[in-house]
Amino acid sequence: MRDSVSAPAKAGWYPTPVHDRERYWDGVRWTEMFRQARASAPTSIGGGVGSEATV
């Protein structure tokens, strides 16, 4: 029998338990970047992340 290893979650913004906030998962661990929730999450980041992320 083969051990099944699930693939890590894709890097992107994910909802938090705090209403209307998302936190960024870098593909390995949670970062300290948060932002206001958007209608479609999770999404991959593109350019300009620093302008919408807060620490």
Q: What phi and psi values does residue 44 have, to the nearest 5 degrees?
A: -80, 155
Does 33 map to a domain? yes
pLDDT of 48: 47
Does 7 map to a domain? no
Does 1 map to a domain? no
Per-residue pLDDT of the chain (55 residues; tens, 9 = 90+): 566 677 778 999 999 998 899 999 999 999 999 999 986 545 555 544 454 555 5
Which pTM does this prediction carry? 0.56
Q: What is the CA radius of gyration of the chain?
A: 13
Does 22 map to a domain? yes
Which two three-digit tokens encode residue 30? 């949670």
Does 39 map to a domain? yes
Does 21 map to a domain? yes
Does 5 map to a domain? no
Measured CA to CA in angstroms, residue 29 lies from 2, 3, 26, 32 at distances of 26, 23, 6, 10
Enclosing domain of residue 41: 12-46
**Count of domains observed in the chain:** 1
